């Protein structure tokens, strides 16, 4: 059984599916995306993370949310057990012919995009809606007030913030109160700069959701960082990716991971990370 934890009011899996690779550049096609989501759900995954901005730059908007909707509507399992998170505030564009990301945290934009997300997902209320990334051109309070309005209006049940500092988390806590349940920040062996927010969320009772928990795939990275994880994996007879995810989950009972996947076999491997038991010595060695 896939490891379960409480994310706010949701009894869900600590290992979710990060949908982004299924609908941005270099994805393997719509049906492969459906098959990958179905494989995850059939294996017991009960949390899917997507975003308004998960689409190919220059292509149809919101394809990630639309893919999740179709996958869930065509799945024959218990839909009511699955929580879906999405995010607003990002969008795609081209810069000198290169696919890029940009932000728009204006309240009117977030309110519009939040309603579009609910429509694309085919739900009356989004389970968990994140403010995707701070917009330096807009006061953070104004963006979070827009997220609160979406919750107040019933467009979303609960809220989260992503790519947030401790100061920004506190602003969101003040404005959203107990409707704020999660912080989604980048965290992995090659990106530990958010350790402070991981620790802080544990102290104040919020879920900490690691994005790119395996280091990501869109940029080159120093693979030697994973050598200690490969050594532990060899001793356990599992993939080093399982060890990385198990190490992150061991950081606290409030920690969740949302590894991405291009294929069913990838997410099926990741979902087994909750079965790995790392010793105190191994955890100390991994840092």
What amino acid positions are annotated as catalytic residues?
54
With beta carbons less than 8 A apart as the criterion, state whether 128 and 159 touch.
yes
**10 Å Cβ neighbour count for 195?**
12
State both tokens at 80. Answer: 């009511």
Reported residue count of the chain is 287
Which residues fall within 8 angstroms of residue 219, CB to CB, at 6 or more apart? none
Return d(Cα 113, Cα 109) in angstroms, integer: 6
DSSP code, position 20: G
With beta carbons less than 8 A apart as the criterion, state whether 146 and 134 touch.
no
With beta carbons less than 8 A apart as the criterion, state whether 7 and 182 touch.
yes
Which residues fall within 8 angstroms of residue 65, CB to CB, at 6 or more apart? 50, 51, 52, 54, 86, 117, 120, 121
Burial letters for 25-50: b for 16+ Cβ neighbours within 10 Å, e otherwise?
eebeeeeebbbbbbbbbebbbbbbbb
**Torsion on CA atoms 239, 71, 42, 235, rounded to nearest 10:** 10
């Amino acid at each position: 059984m896939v490891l379960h934890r409480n994310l706010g009011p949701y009894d869900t899996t600590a290992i979710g599916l990060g949908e982004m690779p299924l609908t941005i550049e270099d994805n393997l096609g719509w049906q492969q995306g459906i098959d990958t989501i179905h494989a995850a759900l059939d294996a017991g995954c009960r949390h899917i993370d997507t975003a308004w901005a998960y689409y190919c730059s220059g292509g149809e908007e919101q394809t990630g949310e639309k893919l999740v909707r179709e996958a869930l509507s065509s799945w024959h399992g218990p839909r009511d057990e699955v929580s879906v998170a999405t995010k607003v505030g990002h969008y795609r564009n081209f810069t000198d012919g290169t696919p890029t990301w940009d932000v728009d945290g204006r309240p009117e934009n977030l309110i519009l995009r939040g309603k579009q997300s609910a429509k694309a997902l085919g739900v009356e209320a989004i389970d968990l809606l994140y403010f995707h990334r701070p917009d330096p051109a807009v006061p953070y309070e104004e963006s979070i007030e827009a997220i609160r309005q979406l919750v107040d209006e019933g467009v979303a049940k609960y809220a989260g913030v992503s790519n947030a500092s401790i100061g920004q988390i506190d602003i969101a806590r003040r404005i959203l109160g107990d409707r704020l349940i999660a912080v989604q920040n980048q965290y992995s062996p090659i990106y530990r700069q958010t350790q402070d927010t991981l620790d802080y969320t544990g102290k104040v009772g919020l879920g900490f959701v690691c994005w790119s928990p395996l280091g990501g795939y869109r940029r080159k990275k120093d693979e030697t960082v994973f050598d200690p994880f490969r050594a532990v994996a060899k001793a356990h007879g599992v993939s080093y990716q399982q060890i990385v995810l198990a190490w992150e989950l061991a950081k606290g009972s409030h920690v969740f991971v949302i590894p991405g996947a291009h294929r069913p076999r990838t997410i099926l491997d990741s979902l087994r990370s909750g079965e790995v038991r790392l010793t105190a010595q191994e955890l100390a060695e991994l840092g």
